[in-house]
Every structure is written in structure tokens, then in C-alpha cells.
């Protein structure tokens, strides 16, 4: 089948540039951006009207459309799709016809992303009519693929009815086709249908309807020899293991019996997945788990293909989850990193990252010399993944660096907030996930400072969190900030209450003075201090005279405050003085402790 070649870096760079600034105006409109790209490509290819020349022309345009699509600039992508149809839509050559169909199929997906349902439906019907009668293999195979992609993207957009209808249409239209290039997409579309039924849950017997789809895929395509088609058959059978717990073991063994000797890397990886599924359903006691793991290693251990190596690593991770001793788990994690750590495949790099950052760090918790062991793992992660361009890993690396800082705080290697705050400078343009991770990691850094009795440094971290991320309306970031304020104000209240109770009033006054000198007064600093002073009073209730003095100090400092939370604390403090002065027992504070 035809495939679009690797993206031309120049065209991708142009597509990205024209959707931002500085190339065709301060902020180029989608139409002008796409038009400039089209003009540029025309200069390169328009003169060559041979089939090969037209293919290169269309491919270049599709590359640019893909770049726009990647930036979610669907309007610009559609302009390019329309240009391809306008220029080449009347061509009769089979190859060019298939390329035009590709462009229109991509336009369908862009319209789905834009939720332009009426336009999408009209275009879809046009594609079915204009290309549905073309019996040439290249066009027919491409049309089958377009059917699959529409079903898949509709499923992703939660439009399960359209996904199911498109898959049914594909099966009716192409189901009897004998060519593997067509059959693989029918199997794929039906697989999507099964997932859509699962999500839709429209009828009371959806469970059986879903299983029926997967059994139908096996019945239709189970004897196919084409690897791409067999791939979807195995995926369908694996789905049946979820739908039929009692027969899961038999299904997994059947997959191994049929496809265990297959040479295709994708199929071999799925066979390993089937064997791991067999292990996960070994509750009936008729599976020798150790023997299955050994069989996987014996048959697939020397396979160099990335797909198989990923599954071998997954097998070791699954094996580790059944172990109880941390040392045994750590030994497996170390073996995974040693064996697969140099692999370049992105999926494997993600597994190695998770092995270190999630599994190994978790196993190390609570062991002797914990901080030094943890620090070694963090350093290994930084060395391996510090420059990794993958967005998900880079977002996690924000947390790795911040968590490493918490370890250094415990070890006494970091005694001020300065090196922690330096890392927040580059966060302004970070994605939302990175900001969430960093906010929670900063909170843990502040708690580590509190544990080392470095409360002023913890306040500096809190102030940075509020200043740099306080305007972010993200609920996760707000939660981290709110939690830290409560933990920090309580720690401040405990520290000062202990000083007051020990008759160290000078030290207590010095504590508040140091805060005032270091941090400029503003709403969040004032709230933090007011809550801390109120906690102090609450903690001194068993010594009424000291508690009354604490409440008076809060009132004296904040009675003129305009901030709502502080006003409530001033009111509560006055009530506390009145209650304690009358010899009564005060109620729990409604602001800090809830109603």
C-alpha cells in the first residue's frame, strides 16, 4: 500500500512558523498560513505533470497538512486538503486517485475534530459515492482504510453510533474482498466496533454483542495468512479474554497454538501478551506460572525486534508485581534496566522510565539508607532522560528534579529554597501536566524543609508557588497550594506555640519578625500568618491566658484586614477571648477545622 513518506523538516517548520508569529505577520490567520505553504510547494512541484511529479506534489501538501493537524490547526489543514482535491480531483490515474482519497479522508478527520458534523456527513457521503464504485485495488484498499480511520476517530470522539455504523458499512462493502490489503482494514474497523459497543452500553446485553463482534472477526479472518489481518484477529481474541473469564485460559492457549511460530514481530509481541494474559488468569490453579515465564524467555528472549523486547520487559514487570520482598522486586527492576536500558524505541524508554521512577523508587521506600538509595535512582533517571524530548517524560522529569531536591533536603545538602526556586523560572511555558507535577513536588519540598525545621525556607517555596502558579485556575495546582498552606500554617502554629509555652517570647517575636522582613505583605502571606497565629491560639487553649494573648496578637495585627478569610479569623479570635474569659470551653474553629 502507498504510505506518506517521512515529514520534510522544512515543510513542517514552515507550517509551525506560519501558525505562530513573525513570518507572515504578527499572528498569521489559518487561511494565509495554508496559502503561503501551498504557494511555496507549487513553486517546487507544479511544473512536473507526470504521475511521479504529481505524487510528490500531493505528498508535500499532505506533509504540511499533517503538521497543521499536529498543532490542532484543522482549518489550515482543510484548506490544503481542498487544494489537493481542486488540483487533482479529476485525475483518473489509479495512484493519483488514491492520493486524492487520502486527502479527503484526512479532511473527514479534521472536520470530526472541529465537530463540523453536517459538513463531515456531506463529505463522507460524497466520498462513498465518488470512490465506492472504483474497483481498482489501490483505490479500494485506500477507501477501506479511510472507513477504518473514520470509525476510529469517531470512537475517539465518543461518537460511538457513527463508529459502529461506519464499521458495519465497511464490513458490508468490503467484507467479501479477498485481497489482504483490503481485508486488514475491515478487520480493524470491526475491532473498533467492538470497543464502541463496550463504551456505548446501549442495550442490556451489550456485553454479549461486543463478544459477538470479536468472535465474528475470528470467524471471518481467523484463517488469513496476512500478518496485518492476523494482528486484528489476535487483538479480538485477547478482548474475548476480558469478556469470558472462564475461557480466558483456553483462548490464550489457542492464540499461542495458532500464531506461536509466527515470524512477524507484531504477532510475536501479541503472542507474549497472550501468555501474560494466561498468567493473569491463573487463579484456577491449572497454570504453571514459572513455566510460562520460562517459556516466554526461551522462545522470545533473543528476539531483537523492538516490539518483542517491549513485551519481554512488560513480562518482567508483571512478574515483579507478584513478589512481596522489596529486594526481589528491585533485582528485577535492575535487570530490566540493564537488559533494555540502551534500547532506542520510545515505548521501551517509557518502560525504563516507569521502572525507575515508579516501581524501583516505590520498592526502595522504607529501606535503610533510604535517601542515598533514592538519590542514586534519581541521578540515574536524570542521566538517562534529562534531554528526552517526549512530552510525557519531560513533564514527569519536572517531578523527578523536584523530588530529588526533597531527598537532598533530608540529607542536608540543600538548606535554602534558592536552588529549588531557580527551577521554577522555566515553568512559565510548561504544559499543564508539568505544572501540576511541579506544584505537588514543590509542596513536598516545602514539607521536607518543615521537617528540617527550616520554616522560612518552606514559606519561600509557598510564596513562589503562589506567585508563579497562583493565577493558574487548574484545580490540581490549587489543591497543592491549598494543602501546603494548611500544612505550613499548622507547622508555624506548632513552632510558635511551643516557644510561647516554654516562655521563650523573645524567640517567638523574632520568628514573626524574620517572616515580616523576608516576605512582603500580600493576601496569601497575610492569610498564612493569620492562620498560623490562630493555630497557635488553638494549641494553647489548655493555657487560657496564653491563648488569650495569642488571640489578641492576631486581632491587633489583622483587625483592619480586608481579606475574607482573615476577617473570619479575627471574628473567631474575639469569640475565643470571650469564651475563655468566661471560663467556658471553646468550640472547634469553623474556618480551620470545618463546621
Give the whole-number percent of the chain exceeding pLDDT 70: 90
pLDDT for the residue numbered 235 = 97
In the prediction, which pLDDT does 437 show? Answer: 82
Residue that wins the pLDDT comparison between 413 and 371: 413
Question: How far apart, in whole angstroms, are the C-alpha atoms of residue 438 and residue 399?
Answer: 6
Neighbours of 108 (CB within 10 A): 21
Q: C-alpha cell of 177?
A: 474482498
DSSP E strands: which ranges in 326-418? Answer: none
Non-local (6+) Cβ contacts of 320 within 8 A are 328, 329, 332, 333, 359
> Phi and psi of 65, rounded to 5°?
-60, -40
When computed from its CA atoms, the radius of gyration of the chain, rounded to whole angstroms, is: 32
Q: How far is CA 190 from CA 125, 195, 216, 217, 495, in A?
A: 20, 9, 9, 7, 65
Q: What is the pLDDT of residue 426?
A: 60
Residue range 448-501, pLDDT digits in tens: 999 999 999 999 999 988 887 766 677 888 888 899 999 999 999 999 999 999
Compute CA distances 339 → 136, 311, 321, 413, 510, whole Å: 48, 13, 19, 33, 57
Long-range contacts, stretch 326-335, CB < 8 angstroms, 24+ apart:
326/363, 326/364, 326/366, 326/367, 329/359, 329/360, 329/363, 330/360, 330/363, 330/364, 333/359, 333/360, 333/363, 334/360
Distance, in Å, from the CA atom of 343 to the CA atom of 337, rounded to the nearest integer, reads 10
Whether 568 has a pLDDT exceeding 50, the answer reads yes
Residue 485's pLDDT is 94
Each residue of 296-315: pLDDT tens digit? 999 999 999 999 999 999 99
Least confident of 20-24, 48-52, 194-198: 20-24
137 CB neighbour count, 10 Å cutoff = 15
pLDDT at 447 over 50: yes
- The per-residue b/e assignment along 168-207, b for 16 or more CB within 10 angstroms, e otherwise, is ebbbebbbebeebbbbbbbbbbbbbbbbbbbebeeeeeee
SS3 state of residue 561? coil
Spatial CA neighbour of 246 closest among 216, 297, 281 = 281
Which grid coordinates are listed for 198?
463496550
Whether the Cβ atoms of residue 168 and residue 193 lie closer than 8 Å to each other: yes
CA distance 471 to 299: 56
Q: Is the pLDDT score of 365 beyond 60?
A: yes
Lowest average pLDDT, out of 39-48, 284-293, 351-360, 445-454, goes to 39-48
Q: Report residue 144's pLDDT band, with 50, 70 and 90 as the boundaries.
A: very high
C-alpha separations of 40 from 35, 424, 527 in Å: 9, 41, 58
Q: Band of the pLDDT at 584, cuts 50, 70, 90?
A: confident
> What is the reported pLDDT for 589?
56
What phi, psi does 40 have (nearest 5°)?
-60, -45
Question: How many other C-beta atoms are found inside a 10 Å radius of the C-beta of residue 475?
Answer: 9
The predicted model gives 334-363 an average pLDDT of: 94
CB contact at 8 A, 152 and 163: yes
Question: Which cell numbers in the block locate residue 480?
Answer: 497543592
CB atoms within 10 A of CB 492: 25
| C-alpha count within 13 angstroms, C-beta hemisphere, residue 5 | 10
pLDDT tens per residue across span 154-176: 999 899 999 999 999 999 999 99
Residue 200 — very low, low, confident or very high, per pLDDT cuts 50/70/90?
A: confident
- DSSP character for 6? P
| pLDDT at 429 (0 to 100) | 58
DSSP element (H, E) containing 175: none
Residue 336 pLDDT: 97
What is the pLDDT confidence band of residue 425, given thresholds at 50, 70 and 90? low
- Residue 587 has what pLDDT? 65
pTM of the model: 0.78
Give me the chain's average pLDDT, please: 87
- Are 358 and 352 spatial neighbours (Cβ–Cβ below 8 Å)? no
Q: What is the mean pLDDT of residues 140-151?
A: 97
User: What cell numbers appear for 295 in the block?
Assistant: 517459556
User: What DSSP state is assigned to residue 470?
Assistant: T
Mean pLDDT of 259-287: 89
pLDDT at 346: 92
**Residue 132, all three cell numbers:** 465506492
pLDDT reading at 347 higher than 50: yes
pLDDT, tens digit (0-9, with 9 covering 90-100), for 381-414: 999 998 888 888 888 888 888 888 888 888 888 8
Looking at residue 513, what is its pLDDT?
95
pLDDT of residue 19: 42
The mean-pLDDT minimum among 131-145, 370-384, 490-504 falls in 370-384
Residue 537 has pLDDT above 90, yes or no: yes
Q: Does the pLDDT of residue 339 top 90, yes or no?
A: yes
Longest dimension (CA), the chain: 100
For 429, the enclosing helix (H) or strand (E) is: none
**Distance in angstroms (rounded) separating the CA atoms of residues 355 and 320:** 11
Condensed to tens digits (0 to 9), the pLDDT of residues 10-42 reads 444 444 444 443 333 333 444 577 888 888 787
Give the tens place of pLDDT for each residue, 208-234. 999 999 999 999 999 999 999 999 999
Residue 268 confidence (pLDDT):
97
Amino acid at each position: 500500500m502507498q504510505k506518506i513518506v517521512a515529514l520534510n523538516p522544512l515543510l513542517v517548520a514552515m507550517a509551525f512558523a506560519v501558525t505562530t508569529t513573525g513570518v507572515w505577520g504578527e499572528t498569521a490567520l489559518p487561511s494565509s498560513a495554508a496559502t503561503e505553504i501551498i504557494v511555496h510547494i507549487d513553486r517546487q512541484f507544479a511544473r512536473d505533470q507526470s504521475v511521479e511529479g504529481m505524487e510528490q506534489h500531493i505528498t508535500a501538501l499532505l506533509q504540511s497538512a499533517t503538521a497543521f493537524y499536529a498543532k490542532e490547526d484543522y482549518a489550515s489543514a482543510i484548506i490544503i486538503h481542498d487544494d489537493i482535491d481542486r488540483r487533482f480531483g479529476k485525475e483518473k490515474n489509479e495512484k493519483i486517485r488514491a492520493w486524492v482519497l487520502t486527502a479527503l479522508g484526512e479532511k473527514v478527520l479534521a472536520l470530526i475534530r472541529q465537530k463540523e458534523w453536517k459538513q463531515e456527513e456531506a463529505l463522507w457521503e460524497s466520498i462513498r459515492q465518488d470512490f465506492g464504485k472504483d474497483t481498482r485495488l489501490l483505490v479500494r484498499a485506500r477507501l477501506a482504510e479511510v472507513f477504518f480511520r473514520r470509525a476510529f476517530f469517531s470512537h475517539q470522539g465518543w461518537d460511538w453510533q457513527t463508529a459502529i455504523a461506519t464499521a458495519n458499512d465497511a464490513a458490508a462493502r468490503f467484507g467479501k474482498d479477498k485481497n489482504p490489503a483490503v481485508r486488514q482494514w475491515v478487520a480493524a474497523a470491526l475491532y473498533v466496533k467492538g470497543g464502541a459497543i463496550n463504551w456505548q452500553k446501549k442495550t442490556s446485553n451489550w456485553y454479549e454483542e461486543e463478544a459477538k463482534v470479536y468472535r465474528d472477526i475470528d470467524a471471518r479472518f481467523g484463517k488469513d495468512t496476512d500478518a496485518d489481518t492476523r494482528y486484528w484477529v489476535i487483538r479480538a481474541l485477547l478482548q474475548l479474554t476480558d469478556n469470558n473469564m472462564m475461557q480466558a485460559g483456553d483462548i490464550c492457549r489457542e492464540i499461542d497454538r495458532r500464531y506461536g511460530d509466527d515470524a512477524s514481530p507484531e504477532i510475536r509481541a501479541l503472542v507474549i501478551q497472550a501468555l501474560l494474559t494466561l498468567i493473569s488468569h491463573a487463579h484456577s490453579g491449572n497454570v504453571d506460572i514459572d513455566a510460562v515465564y520460562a517459556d516466554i524467555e526461551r522462545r522470545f528472549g533473543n528476539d531483537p525486534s523492538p516490539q518483542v523486547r517491549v513485551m519481554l520487559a512488560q513480562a518482567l514487570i508483571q512478574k515483579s508485581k507478584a513478589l512481596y520482598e522489596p529486594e526481589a522486586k528491585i533485582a528485577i527492576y535492575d535487570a530490566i534496566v540493564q537488559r533494555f536500558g540502551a534500547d532506542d524505541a520510545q515505548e521501551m524508554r517509557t518502560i525504563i522510565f516507569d521502572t525507575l521512577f515508579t516501581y524501583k523508587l516505590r520498592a526502595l521506600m522504607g529501606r535503610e539508607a533510604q535517601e542515598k538509595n533514592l538519590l542514586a535512582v534519581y541521578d540515574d533517571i536524570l542521566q538517562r532522560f534529562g534531554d528526552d524530548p517526549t512530552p510525557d517524560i519531560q513533564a514527569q522529569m519536572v517531578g523527578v528534579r523536584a523530588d530529588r531536591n526533597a531527598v537532598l533536603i533530608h540529607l542536608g545538602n540543600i538548606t535554602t529554597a534558592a536552588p529549588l526556586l531557580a527551577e521554577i523560572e522555566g515553568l512559565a511555558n510548561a504544559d499543564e501536566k508539568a505544572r501540576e507535577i511541579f506544584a505537588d513536588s514543590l509542596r513536598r519540598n516545602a514539607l521536607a524543609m518543615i521537617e528540617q525545621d527550616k520554616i522560612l525556607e518552606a514559606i519561600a517555596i509557598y510564596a513562589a508557588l503562589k506567585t508563579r502558579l497562583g493565577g493558574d485556575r487548574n484545580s490540581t495546582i490549587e489543591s497543592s497550594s491549598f494543602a501546603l498552606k494548611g500544612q505550613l500554617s499548622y507547622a508555624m502554629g506548632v513552632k510558635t506555640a511551643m516557644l510561647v509555652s516554654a516562655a521563650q517570647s523573645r524567640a517567638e517575636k523574632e520568628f514573626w519578625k524574620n517572616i515580616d522582613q523576608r516576605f512582603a505583605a500580600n493576601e496569601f502571606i497575610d492569610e498564612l500568618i493569620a492562620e498560623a497565629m490562630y493555630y497557635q491560639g488553638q494549641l494553647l487553649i489548655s493555657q487560657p491566658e496564653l491563648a488569650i494573648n495569642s488571640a489578641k496578637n492576631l486581632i491587633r495585627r489583622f483587625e483592619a484586614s480586608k481579606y475574607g478569610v482573615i476577617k473570619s479569623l479575627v471574628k473567631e479570635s474575639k469569640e475565643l477571648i470571650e469564651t475563655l474569659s468566661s471560663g467556658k470551653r471553646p468550640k472547634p474553629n469553623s474556618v480551620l477545622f470545618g463546621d
